[in-house]
Chains A and B, each alone.
Chain A
Amino acid sequence: MILVGELSLWVAILMAAWTTTVSWAGGYQRRSDLVFSGERAMYATFAFTTVASIGLWYAIFTHDFSLKFVSSYSSRNLPSVYLFSSFWAGQAGSMLFWTLILAGYGALAVFFNRHRLRAMMPWVTGTMGLVTLFFLLTTAFGANPFERLDWVPADGRGMNPQLQNPGMAIHPPMLYFGYVATAVPFAFAIGALITRQLDGEWLAAVRRWSLLSWFFLTIGIVLGMWWAYVELGWSGYWAWDAVENSSLLPWLSGTAFLHSIMIQEKRGMLKKWNVTLVVLTFLLSILGTFITRSGVIESVHAFARSNVGPWFLWFLIISTILTAVLVSTRLKDMEAKAELESMVSREAAFLYNNLVLVGIAFTTLWGTLFPILSEWVQGEKITVGPPFFNSVNTPLGLLLLALTGIGPLIAWRRASSANLKRQFLAPSIVGVLAVVVLLALGMRHFYALVFYGLAAFVATTITMEFVKGIGARRRMYQENLATAGVRLVVRNRRRYGGYVVHFGVVVMFAAFAGSYFKKDYAEVDLKTGDTFTATDPWGDTWTFTSEGMNSFETLNRRVTAISLVATYNGKPMGRMLAEKRQHFDSNKAETFEPSTEVAIMEMARQDVYVFFSGLRDADTAVLTFNFNPLVIWVWIGGFIMAFGGVIVMWPQAERRERGYVAELSPQHDGALVGAGV
Chain B
Amino acid sequence: MTRRAFFVRTAVLAPVVLAAPALLRAQNSSTVNMNGDFYIPVRPAPKPNATAQLDDDAIQALERTLACPCPCTLDVYTCRTTDVLCTNSPAIHRDVVRMVEGGYTGDEIVSQLMDVYGQRILALPRKEGFNLVGWFFPFVAIGTGGLAIAYLLRTWRNNAVAAAALATTSGVRSIGVQATDEEMERLNAALRDDSR
Could you list which residues of chain A lie within 8 angstroms of chain B, going by C-beta atoms? 232-236, 239-242, 266, 269, 290, 294-300, 302, 305, 309-310, 313, 316-317, 320-321, 324-325, 327-329, 331, 337-343, 346-348, 351-352, 355, 358-359, 362-363, 366-367, 369-378, 380-388, 391-392, 396, 409, 411-413, 521, 523, 593-594, 596, 611, 613-614, 624
Residues of chain A lying within 8 A (CB to CB) of residue B196: 409, 411
Residues of chain A lying within 8 A (CB to CB) of residue B45: none
Given contacts A239-B73, A313-B27, A320-B13, contact A383 B155 (CB under 8 A): no
Given contacts A299-B73, A411-B192, contact A521 B123 (CB under 8 A): no
Looking at chain B's contact residues, the main secondary structure is helix
Residues of chain B lying within 8 A (CB to CB) of residue A297: 26
Q: Which residue of B lies closest to A242 (CB)?
A: B73
A388 adjacent to B149 (CB under 8 Å)? no
Residues of chain A lying within 8 A (CB to CB) of residue B82: 233-235, 611, 624
A296 adjacent to B16 (CB under 8 Å)? no
Q: Which residue of A lies closest to B12 (CB)?
A: A324
Q: Which residue of B lies closest to A363 (CB)?
A: B138
Given contacts A320-B12, A355-B145, contact A385 B75 (CB under 8 A): yes
B192 adjacent to A302 (CB under 8 Å)? no
Residue in A236, A380, A392 whose beta carbon sits within 8 Å of that of B119 in the complex? A380
Which one of B47-55, B99-107, B127-135, B178-186 is at the interface?
B127-135
Residues of chain B lying within 8 A (CB to CB) of residue A385: 67, 73-75, 123-124
Complex alpha-carbon distance, A327 and B65, angstroms: 44
A374 adjacent to B130 (CB under 8 Å)? yes
A593 adjacent to B85 (CB under 8 Å)? yes
Sample of 15 further A-B pairs with CB below 8 A, known A239-B74, A384-B134, A385-B67: A298-B73, A328-B6, A338-B152, A339-B160, A340-B160, A341-B160, A343-B153, A351-B149, A355-B146, A382-B119, A409-B196, A411-B195, A412-B192, A523-B81, A611-B82
From B8, B12, B26, B35, name the one whose CB has the most chain A CB atoms within 10 angstroms. B26
Instruction: Tell whether B177 is near chain A: CB-to-CB under 8 Å.
Output: no
Could you list which residues of chain B lie within 8 angstroms of chain A, going by C-beta atoms? 1-2, 4-6, 8-9, 12-13, 16, 19-27, 30, 32-35, 65, 67, 71-75, 78-79, 81-85, 118-125, 129-131, 134-135, 137-139, 141-142, 145-146, 149, 152-153, 155-157, 159-160, 163, 188, 191-192, 195-196
Complex alpha-carbon distance, A269 and B73, angstroms: 42
A300 adjacent to B160 (CB under 8 Å)? no
B192 adjacent to A348 (CB under 8 Å)? no
A234 adjacent to B27 (CB under 8 Å)? no
Task: Provide 10 A-B residue pairs closer than 8 Å at the C-beta atoms, listed in order of the A residue.
Answer: A240-B73, A290-B23, A295-B30, A331-B2, A337-B159, A355-B145, A381-B118, A384-B134, A386-B123, A596-B84
Q: Which residue of A lies closest to B20 (CB)?
A: A317
Complex alpha-carbon distance, A316 and B30, angstroms: 19
Given contacts A339-B160, A382-B120, contact A355 B149 (CB under 8 A): yes
Distance in angstroms from B127 CB to nearest chain A CB is: 11
Complex alpha-carbon distance, A359 and B141, angstroms: 8
Q: Which residue of A lies closest to B152 (CB)?
A: A351
Given contacts A331-B8, A351-B153, contact A378 B130 (CB under 8 A): yes
Complex alpha-carbon distance, A87 and B39, angstroms: 35
B125 adjacent to A382 (CB under 8 Å)? yes
Residue in B5, B84, B156, B163 whose beta carbon sits within 8 Å of that of A329 in the complex? B5
Given contacts A299-B73, A340-B159, contact A372 B23 (CB under 8 A): yes
Residue in B118, B121, B138, B153 whose beta carbon sits within 8 Å of that of A340 in the complex? B153
B8 adjacent to A324 (CB under 8 Å)? yes
Residues of chain A lying within 8 A (CB to CB) of residue B120: 371, 380-383
Distance in angstroms from A276 CB to nearest chain B CB is: 9
Given contacts A324-B8, A383-B67, contact A362 B16 (CB under 8 A): no
Distance in angstroms from A534 CB to nearest chain B CB is: 15
Distance in angstroms from A389 CB to nearest chain B CB is: 10
Complex alpha-carbon distance, A18 and B157, angstroms: 50
A338 adjacent to B156 (CB under 8 Å)? yes
From B6, B75, B124, name the one whose CB has the most chain A CB atoms within 10 angstroms. B124
Residue in A313, A358, A409, A596 whose beta carbon sits within 8 Å of that of B23 in the complex? A313
Residue in A310, A329, A384, A392 whose beta carbon sits within 8 Å of that of B125 in the complex? A384
A373 adjacent to B84 (CB under 8 Å)? no
